[in-house]
Structure 1
Amino acid sequence: MTGFLDGAPTSWRIDAERSEYHFESDDVGSLRIFADPQEVPKDIGPIRLLVMMVEGTASLLELRIEDGAGNPVLRLADDTGTRTILDIERDGDGSLRFNGEIEAHLVAHPMSDRVPGQRHPLVLDVVEGQITVAGH
């Protein structure tokens, strides 16, 4: 996943084995995505996302960025809209592949050292994302 956080270039690598997906039916399911930092601003570490899929429409329910020690730094702002477009394909071997775009505004986690209330725009392009195991 590549993009920009506060205008700074970012990239995270999806950890296919720590991420998971579960589908109730062909049309309803969820993806929990965990990704490790590759190129990120100072004090930014892994990212976690929860995406709900309903009849082909993706909704970003949760997004959290941690520092290198695993402490939450930024989270999805409650009062702003997000834009999530994901195309998903399931492979015969049980893995799930996806491509798309995610746009959101983040705010500081209450326990972080960041300024409360300040908006942090995040834009991500997901290319060849993969989760290898369904429903741990």
Structure 2
Amino acid sequence: MKGFLEETPVSWRIDADRSEYHFESEGIGSLRILAEPQEVPSGIGSIRLLVMVAEGTTSLLELRIEDEGGHSVLGLSSDAGGQVMLDIDRAKDGTLYVTGVMEADLTAYPKSGRTDGERQTLVLDVDGGRITATGH
């Protein structure tokens, strides 16, 4: 996943084995994605996402960026939400492939060391994302 946090280039690599998906039926399900930092500014670590899928529409329910120690520093702004346009394909071996774009307004978490209420925009292009684990 590559993109920009405000104007700073960022990239994370989806951890295919620690991410998971679960589908109730063919068109209704969820993706829980954990991605490790590749190119991020100081103070930024892993990213966690929860995406719901319903009849071809994807919705970003949770997005959290952690620092290097695993503490939450930025999260999905409750009043702004996020936009997700993902194509999701399941291979016969159970692997899920994800491509598309996500955009979200993030707010600094309390006690994150950032200015309380600080907002930043995150735009990510997901190209060749892969999840190998199915949820329970």
TM-score scaled to structure 2, two decimals? 0.98
Identity of aligned residues (%): 61
Structure 2 counterpart of 1:23:
23
Report the CA distance between 1:111 and its aligned residue: 2.1
**CA displacement at 1:81 relative to structure 2:** 3.5
Per the alignment, residue 74 of structure 1 pairs with: 74
Separation of aligned partners in 2, 1:135 and 1:83: 24
Kindly report which structure 2 residues correspond to 1:51-66, keeping only aligned pairs within 5 A, or say none. Answer: 51-66=51-66
CA–CA separation in structure 2 for the residues paired with 1:29 and 1:115: 35
Any residues of structure 2 matched to 1:115-134 within 5 Å, and which? 115-134=115-134
SS state at 2:97 partner: strand
Per-residue CA deviations over 1:2-45 (Å, capped at 9, x if unaligned) read 00002100000000000000000001000000000000011000
- For structure 2, the residue ranges without an aligned partner over 5 or more in a row are none
Counterpart AA for 2:84: T
Higher percent of residues as strand = 2
Query: Contact (CA 8 Å) 2:60, 2:81: kept in 1 or not?
Result: no
CA RMSD of aligned residues (A): 0.8
- Tell me the secondary structure at the aligned position of residue 24 of structure 1: strand
Which residue does 2:135 correspond to in 1? 135
Q: TM-score, normalised by structure 1?
A: 0.98
SS of 2:69's equivalent in the other structure is: coil
Give unmatched runs, 5+ long, in structure 1. none
Match of 2:101 in 1: 101
**In structure 1, distance between residues paired with 2:76 and 2:104:** 7
AA paired with 1:124? Answer: L
**Counterpart-to-counterpart distance in 1, 2:38 and 2:116:** 26
* In structure 1, C-alpha distance between the alignment counterparts of 2:133 and 2:75, rounded to whole Å: 26
- Aligned-residue offset at 1:83: 1.1
